[in-house]
Amino acid sequence: MSTTALSVTVRIQRFNPDVDKKPYWDEFKVEATQGKTILDALHEIKEEQDGSVTFQRSCRHAICGSCAMNVNGQNMLVCETPLREHVDRKGRITIRPLPYLPIIKDLVVDRTRFWEQYLRVKPWLIPPENIPEKEFRMSEDEVKALHDAEHCIMCGACYSSCQVVALNKSYIGPHALLKAFLRVMDPRDSAPAARLDDLDKGDGVYRCHTIFNCIDACPKKLNPTEAIETLRKLAMKRQAFEDARRERQQQLNEPIGPVPGH
Amino acid sequence: MYRSTGFLSFLLRRVTGVALVLYLLLHIWVIGGINSGADTFNSRMEFLGKPFFRVLEIGLLAAVVYHGIDGIRLLMVHYLNVTEYRKSLLYAALAVSAILVIAGGLPILLFALEG
């Protein structure tokens, strides 16, 4: 494994709404040593070259979702991305804030609309009336059907890569539709028909144009498009789906078969 | 603008769709000429018989073929859980469209050149 340092030009889109009329580019030189992430490079630039470079980050472990940015045209979490992997042939790396969202300063964007759409789908669980004494019992197949949607960290990479979001501000967006999918598919949730009814509107599941940017942008390798496709099919038979759910919820506290090791 | 193959397909779908609507308007204008008599219809047909419009028919063929095959691709995406193969599907749609447009476009071009 090579440990030699590589000199990289980091191009950062700068914008301070108090003084700038439009965004401009700033260039900084950093050494791309082995193991250095793009976030490390941004920290280095802020600490050693220009303290006014503004960006957002928190956990540095790809779980808080605050450091999603656009690097060389692709949305990603910069805390988990090695700097060397994204250096182009000219020895440069280009960092922009998440596209299609209002810029607060430099690489920090205003996610108000993102969160408003998230709340619109009522992302919380609406439990049935007969809550089991100990725990809900879900089968393995029911968990598999969620397709890991609960792994979403709400980073906004999918939302800001979606051209439909750019063209239609009222579109719910892939992040919230994935969350809605999680709740609709959850056997513990007792209001799938009402949820599907809301998603069936003009700015809901049928607004998606299957551009697939959300899949490519997701740092957790989730598939919002497939979730949206599933919601479309369920929306057409929502009442039957809710009836089946009610029946299923009669056995939510029943054992689901032999538990391994017991 | 967020660049991706998905966005390319999104753009092509819209551009070919708008092209087909414009063609339809032209088509209605020509066929509608028959209401004003044979002379009007014939003069409009003659106007569109120029080599420029004949070559443009290859563009019409391309728009029809791509838009149709892209529709089949989208139906597959909607009903067959094939988002995993999204890029291959787009390339396949482009390749099949290209083959059909070349196969159909060559005779149109030769006919146009003959005059």
* Cβ-based contacts of B4 with chain A (< 8 Å): 161, 211-213, 216
Which residues have a Cβ under 8 Å from the Cβ of A210 and sit 6 or more positions away?
A225, B6, B74, B77, B78
Asked if pLDDT for residue A258 goes beyond 80, the answer is: no
CA closest to B82 among chain A residues: A226
Type of residue numbered B50: K
B91 touches chain A (CB under 8 A): no
Distance CA B101, CA B99 (A): 6
Please state which CATH number belongs to domain A6-109: 3.10.20.30
Question: A161 and B4: CB-CB below 8 Å?
Answer: yes
State the pLDDT at residue B115: 59
Residue ranges of domains in chain A: 6-109, 112-249
CA closest to B83 among chain A residues: A226
* Cβ-based contacts of A212 with chain B (< 8 Å): 4-6, 83, 86
Question: B81 and A226: CB-CB below 8 Å?
Answer: yes
Beta bridge pairs of residue A9:
A29, A92
Predicted confidence (pLDDT) per residue in A237-255, tens digit: 999 999 999 988 888 777 6
Distance CA A64, CA A255 (A): 35
Predicted confidence (pLDDT) per residue in B2-39, tens digit: 888 889 999 999 999 999 999 999 999 999 989 988 99
Predicted confidence (pLDDT) per residue in A75-110, tens digit: 999 999 999 999 999 999 999 999 999 999 999 999
With 0-12 / 13-18 / 19 or more C-beta atoms within 10 angstroms meaning exposed / middle / buried, residue B82 is: middle
Predicted confidence (pLDDT) per residue in A18-68, tens digit: 999 999 999 999 999 999 999 999 999 999 999 999 999 999 999 999 999
Nearest to A73 among B3, B77, B81 (CB): B3
* Cβ-based contacts of B10 with chain A (< 8 Å): 163, 209, 211
Question: B86 and A223: CB-CB below 8 Å?
Answer: no
B77 touches chain A (CB under 8 A): yes
CA closest to A216 among chain B residues: B4
Tokens of A183: 């709740």
Distance CA B59, CA B78 (A): 28
Q: What Cα–Cα distance (Å) separates residue B69 from each residue in A17, A131, B35, B94?
A: 46, 50, 35, 8
State the pLDDT at residue A4: 66
Domains and CATH numbers, chain B: 5-114 (1.20.1300.10)
DSSP code, position A151: G
CA closest to B14 among chain A residues: A209
* Cβ-based contacts of B3 with chain A (< 8 Å): 73
State the pLDDT at residue A139: 87
A232 touches chain B (CB under 8 A): yes
State the pLDDT at residue A2: 52
Distance CA A76, CA A147 (A): 21
* Cβ-based contacts of A160 with chain B (< 8 Å): 2
ipTM: 0.83
Question: A211 and B7: CB-CB below 8 Å?
Answer: yes
Chain A, chain B: beta-carbon pairs less than 8 Å apart: 49
Question: B83 and A161: CB-CB below 8 Å?
Answer: no
Q: What is the mean pLDDT of chain B?
A: 91
* Cβ-based contacts of B15 with chain A (< 8 Å): none
Class of the CATH-defined domain A112-249: mainly alpha
Predicted confidence (pLDDT) per residue in A178-221, tens digit: 999 999 999 999 999 999 999 998 899 999 999 999 999 999 99
Q: What is the CA radius of gyration of chain A?
A: 22
pLDDT confidence tier of residue B108, bands split at 50, 70 and 90: confident
* Cβ-based contacts of A168 with chain B (< 8 Å): none
pLDDT confidence tier of residue A262, bands split at 50, 70 and 90: very low
State the pLDDT at residue A170: 93
